[in-house]
Amino acid sequence: MQKLEKRQIIKNVSSSWFALGINVVVGFFLWPFILHRLGEEAAGIWVLIFSITGYYGIFDLGIRSSVVRYIAQARATNNREQASRLISTSLFSYSCIGALTLLITLVVSIYVVDFHSISPESRYTARWLLLMVGAAVSLGFPLGVSGGVLEGLQRFDVQNLTSVIATLLRAVLIVIALRSGYGLLMAAFITVALPLFTSVLRTVIAWHMMPVPIGFGFVDRKTLREMATYGGSTLIIIISARMRFKSDSIIIGTFLSAAAITYFNIGSRIVDYAGEVVENLAQVFMPMSSHSDARGDLDRLHKIFVTGNRFCAFTIFPISAALAILGKSVIRVWVGAKYVDPCYPVLLVLLFASTLRLAQAASPRVLFGMNKHHTWAIVTLIEGVANIALSIALVRPYGIMGDSLGTAIPMAATTIFFLPAHLCRQLKVDFLTYLREAYLLPVMISMPVTLILLLMKRWWFEPHNYLGLLSQLGVAGLVYSVCLGWALASKRATRVGRLRMQGPQLAPVETLSQDV
């Protein structure tokens, strides 16, 4: 790759992690503030309403992923006419979807108070909260096209800069509002309004980066069919993701209580923060894969697959080790000692399954980039259905732990028994060679930091405040930095050995050091 493209990839990854770092730090300190200011029931209603509106994502119909893929393809082939048709058709489709979801919001708001976990005095607030969040999501559909365009152009740095500004401003405004005596509705209004303003800004920036003509005259049925063909499988994956990650709060709210949602959310939110670190890295691999697929560069797809997952493992393995060992201290310091006993088991169960999934976060992106994600869509749908069925079956006898197991078991099964073998078949890569190349080195360099964390917990002290927690994490981070620095300096982190192929043998795969 040219030096300019290498610098852009570095900017994308580094800016993604910087934006995520800001988001995690803000969330880490802001959520306990919101929880203690609003109370457990109001916080639970907040999570419940955002979980309900999270299901509106199924109306995306795979359009955003189509925008990312075909904008990357248009960029690779310099086809401005394709980009114009794609953006115009996407805007038209999303506008129709936005109008439909607004209508659905009006209907759902009538019945949201039927959740028995919502007390009579909170039902007025719950209804208006749903109307507010639902309206914002509806507007966010057409405004979100610009984000897909920026991703297709591999300008994640622009997205991340605007995200950082919005995150910091949101935190400041929420603190001011709650300290001034405002409640849940004002905090939610700030939360949903700032992303809309950010999307408007991104729209202006995206148009300047790709100034193609846009209008109703460019709305094209053929383009819509292409997007529907590609997006059909994506839609199934979107539905599956809602089943996996948005159903827990609704199930707990239906069978238990709003306060139980809060307890579950504390454990799951910590795991989500860890997952976002990897997801922000992995998102760069989809447009890279689409770009390589458009040029027929199978060798580079192999490199993205193997080395992409290796870097995902480099990222998630030490984080998971730290959360498993220091998870109780993290919860105690973050929200208080009374949440440790109910929340730590939830964290452990979800962390195990999420680690298996996140260590392979590059794999689905490669499938999307190659337009070979159809089988993966069916498998994730089966996983989503199994998630809901198991969660409902286990939540009453085992509470929030039962719901956690209902989520973790299908996720672990999918990521162990299907995803790695499926990718190896698609790319004709030997399975055992892939496992060795992708994960042996991350496991090895994660062992010292795991050992250090265990020794500090046993011989030093168990942290009960931010200073103690940060000191232990700092020591562990220093150890891991040394190990990872050695792997990078020796080029072992970016080197891919000879892949034994299934079928015709290929030449030795070169390193991906020029790409990542």
The verdict on residue 148 lying in a domain is yes
Tokens for 105? 């919001």
The verdict on residue 516 lying in a domain is no
Tell whether the model's pLDDT for residue 134 goes beyond 90: no
Name the pLDDT band for 231 (thresholds 50, 70, 90): low
Tell whether pTM > 0.75: no
- Looking at the fold, whether 25 and 102 belong to one and the same domain comes out as yes
CA-based angle 90:305:494, to the nearest 5?
125
- Looking at the fold, whether 325 and 441 belong to one and the same domain comes out as yes
- Looking at the fold, whether 199 and 340 belong to one and the same domain comes out as no
Which residue blocks in 359-373 are alpha helix, DSSP H? 362-370
The average pLDDT across 414-443 equals 90
Tell whether the model's pLDDT for residue 115 goes beyond 60: no
The verdict on residue 237 lying in a domain is no
The per-residue pLDDT for 319 is 92
Q: How far apart are CA 10 and CA 501, in angstroms?
A: 30
The per-residue pLDDT for 413 is 93
| Element housing 512 (H / E) | none
- Looking at the fold, whether 355 and 435 belong to one and the same domain comes out as yes
- Looking at the fold, whether 333 and 407 belong to one and the same domain comes out as yes
- Looking at the fold, whether 59 and 119 belong to one and the same domain comes out as yes
Using a pLDDT cut of 70, give the percent of the chain over it: 85
- Looking at the fold, whether 197 and 312 belong to one and the same domain comes out as no
- Looking at the fold, whether 120 and 9 belong to one and the same domain comes out as yes
The verdict on residue 507 lying in a domain is no
Name the pLDDT band for 512 (thresholds 50, 70, 90): very low
The per-residue pLDDT for 233 is 67
Tokens for 233? 């499988």
- Looking at the fold, whether 134 and 168 belong to one and the same domain comes out as yes
- Looking at the fold, whether 267 and 125 belong to one and the same domain comes out as no
The verdict on residue 503 lying in a domain is no
Specify whether the CB–CB gap between 142 and 64 falls below 8 A. Answer: no
The average pLDDT across 412-416 equals 92
- Which domain range does residue 492 map to? 246-498
- Looking at the fold, whether 251 and 193 belong to one and the same domain comes out as no
Name the pLDDT band for 320 (thresholds 50, 70, 90): very high
Window from 127-131, 198-202, 220-224, 235-239 with minimum mean pLDDT: 235-239
Specify whether the CB–CB gap between 370 and 313 falls below 8 A. Answer: no
The average pLDDT across 223-239 equals 71
The verdict on residue 340 lying in a domain is yes
Specify whether the CB–CB gap between 328 and 458 falls below 8 A. Answer: no
The verdict on residue 351 lying in a domain is yes
Q: How many domains does the chain have?
A: 2
The verdict on residue 166 lying in a domain is yes
